[in-house]
Amino acid sequence: MKTLLEKYDLSGRELRNHFVMAPMTRARRPDNVPNEETAVYYRQRASAGLIISEGLPVSPEAQGYIAVPGIWTDEQVAGWTIVTDAVHEAGGTMFAQLWHVGRISHTSLQPNGQSPVSSSAKPIANPKFQAFIYKEDGSEGRVDPSAPRSLETDEVARVTSDFRHAARNASSAGFDGVELHAANNYLFEQFLNPVMNDRTDRYGGSVENRARFALETIDAVVEELGADRVGIRLSPHNQDDTAQNGWIEETYNYLADELAKRRIAYIHLNDSRIGGNPSLDDAFLKSFGAHFPGTIILAGAMTFERGEQLVQSGLIDLPAFGQPFIANPDLVERYRDDVVVAKPDRDTFYGGGSKGYTDYPRAVHDDV
């Protein structure tokens, strides 16, 4: 028996296997509302033990990319209900990833053309982090983010409230739980990183202060849904402005300790694969697991072989696969039956229609 095909208990919820479909932005909804085709896309992949949705902006301010369905309006809730119903009918489990990009945005995406918000007014320095917008000529494309403004101290609670409201909406839409996106240089990480965060209030300076926003938001969402329906995504070693990276171990160990006290469903780690090699190696995973004894998910250029090895060694509990699920809606079945895995068409990752979205063929058709 292949370990990844065995069932898994996620905080009292039985997953049909150890496969996690990682969150992936596909930018297919110009009106920001999921529809029947969104439902088809996720239903096709419902043999995964757990699907984590693409990042869902929690408010208009939270957006950094065009055509991404959100979770702040009744219309969006109705659209996501179609999706979760389809996944559940296929026997799947689905969490919503709740998202605020912070400074990785553009004034053209912001309400009234305002500046994006962040932990500070520092512009982003790394060219790999860009917003995805409609340009002046009407074409879609990536651009450098606009200069941000620093959130006022009393505004931070307002953003936490946006996440609480989004979590309530996600529950109403039928999601089995939610994941806070605190990775990949987005808003929570902009507070965690002391090189980005130059605040002198209760949200800046010490590790306790820099982690306060994330933990206050976790607490609000746990209060709304229960700890067993809440996860968080983190990405140590994947930030901008990391020249002074001695803070990483202290910060993420502190977060792990605090999240363990809250007994949340899981921590989802994203491996940035620096130079093609794991940035979260076995030594890191062993150390991190000592601070968080709950479920650990790992994503980042995941392979079947590495997933099996890490699960069998006890370093992680669930491997997450991203791009392989794009071209292989039946990825789990292909693994079970040793069928060749298809490669996705990168040109259709973002934007467009059904091509490269819902038209990838299955190699097998029976259920796991």
Backbone angles phi, psi at 302, to 5 degrees: -70, 140
- pLDDT attached to residue 125: 80
CB proximity list for 110: less than 8 A, separation 6 or greater: 60, 61, 63, 116, 146
- pLDDT attached to residue 241: 53
DSSP letters for 143-205: EPPPPPEEPPHHHHHHHHHHHHHHHHHHHHTT-SEEEEEE-TTSHHHHHH-TTT----STTSS
| C-alpha torsion 120→124→129→134, nearest 10 | 90
Q: What CA–CA distance (Å, rounded) separates 362 from 20?
A: 18
Q: What CA–CA distance (Å, rounded) separates 27 from 24?
A: 9
Helix 282-291 × helix 247-262 angle, to 10°:
40
- pLDDT attached to residue 274: 63
For residue 60, the tally of other CB atoms under 10 A from its CB is 15
Q: Which of 357, 350, 355 is nearest to 130 (CA)?
A: 350
Provide the whole-model pTM: 0.96
Active site residue 65: no
Q: What is the dotted CATH code of the domain comprising 3-348?
A: 3.20.20.70
- pLDDT attached to residue 309: 96
47 contacts 16 by C-beta, under 8 angstroms? yes
- pLDDT attached to residue 243: 53
Q: What CA–CA distance (Å, rounded) separates 209 from 111?
A: 29
**Mean pLDDT, each 10-residue run in order, the chain (368 residues):** 93 98 97 98 98 98 97 98 98 98 97 97 88 90 95 98 98 98 96 95 98 98 98 84 73 97 98 74 94 97 95 98 98 96 96 96 70
Q: Which one of 8, 41, 65, 186 is the catalytic residue?
A: 186
5 contacts 330 by C-beta, under 8 angstroms? no
* Domain parsing of the chain, residue ranges: 3-348
217 contacts 160 by C-beta, under 8 angstroms? yes
